[in-house]
């Protein structure tokens, strides 16, 4: 499955784009669920990309947490997809067929498309961030607004789930 913005069908990556209608609905639903849970939130972090920041702001508003307390960090931004970013699925298939094939078939964690970021680079920066936050917020409940490739890569890495292109 391509890492796309669901409303426009484009590779987003590190391009700054607004939150989609679906993203707004998800942020509102998460805020309501957390509000009902009664869980105390000690800190809120967000990727520096607009779609994640907007989600964090909506969530904080629902929970009565000042949006000014959101800590923004570029280490939690989406994986860079380089030459694919901003292009539709069809445009990438037509313009970069070899690169797309390699992207999906490469088991090499260091593989990246031109101008992009490898899975290993993403994992390295994400774990660096998690280690720092874990030390700073030991025993606390922290919300992190990040992106799909970050979450998927971290889950696979932390649970030793092999990557299967």
Each residue of 104-147: pLDDT tens digit?
Answer: 888 888 999 999 999 999 999 999 999 999 999 999 999 999 99
pLDDT at 98: 93
Please give the residue that has the higher pLDDT: either 134 or 5.
134
Tokens for 93, please give them: 């298939």
Look at residue 43 and tell me whether its pLDDT is greater than 60.
Answer: yes
Backbone φ and ψ for 144, nearest 5 degrees, come out as -125, 120
Contacts of 94 (CB under 8 A, 6+ apart): none
Residues ≥6 apart with Cβ < 8 Å to 83: 96, 99, 113, 114, 115, 116
Helix (H, G, I), strand (E, B) or coil at 141: coil
Domain chopping of the chain, boundaries: 4-158
User: Which SS3 state, helix, strand or coil, does residue 87 take?
Assistant: coil
User: Tokens 């260091």 — which residue?
Assistant: 110
Residues contacting residue 21 through CB under 8 Å, at least 6 positions apart:
7
- Mean pLDDT (whole number) for 70-74: 95
Predicted pLDDT at 105? 87
**CATH: 3.40.50.720, 3.90.79.10, 3.40.50.300, 3.40.50.1240. Which one for 4-158?**
3.40.50.1240
Would you put residue 13 in left (φ > 0), alpha (ψ -120 to 50) or beta? left
Residue 6, pLDDT above cutoff 60: no
Q: Is the pLDDT of residue 22 over 80?
A: yes
Residue 82 CA to residue 100 CA, distance in Å, equals 12
User: Residue 1's pLDDT is what?
Assistant: 40
């Amino acid at each position: 499955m391509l890492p796309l913005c669901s409303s426009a069908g484009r590779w987003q990556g590190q391009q700054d784009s607004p939150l989609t209608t679906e993203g707004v609905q998800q942020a509102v639903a998460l805020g309501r669920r957390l509000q009902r849970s009664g869980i105390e939130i000690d800190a809120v972090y967000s990727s520096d990309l607009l779609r994640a920041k907007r989600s964090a702001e909506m969530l904080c508003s629902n929970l009565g947490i000042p949006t000014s307390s959101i800590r923004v960090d570029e280490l939690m931004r989406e994986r860079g997809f380089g030459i694919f970013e901003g292009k539709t699925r069809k445009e990438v298939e037509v313009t970069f067929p070899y690169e797309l094939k390699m992207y999906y078939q490469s088991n090499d964690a260091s593989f990246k498309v031109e101008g992009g970021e490898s899975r290993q680079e993403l994992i390295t920066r994400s774990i660096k961030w998690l280690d720092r936050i874990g030390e700073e917020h030991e025993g606390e409940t922290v919300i992190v607004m990040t992106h799909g490739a970050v979450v998927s890569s971290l889950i696979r890495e932390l649970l030793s789930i092999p990557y299967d292109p």
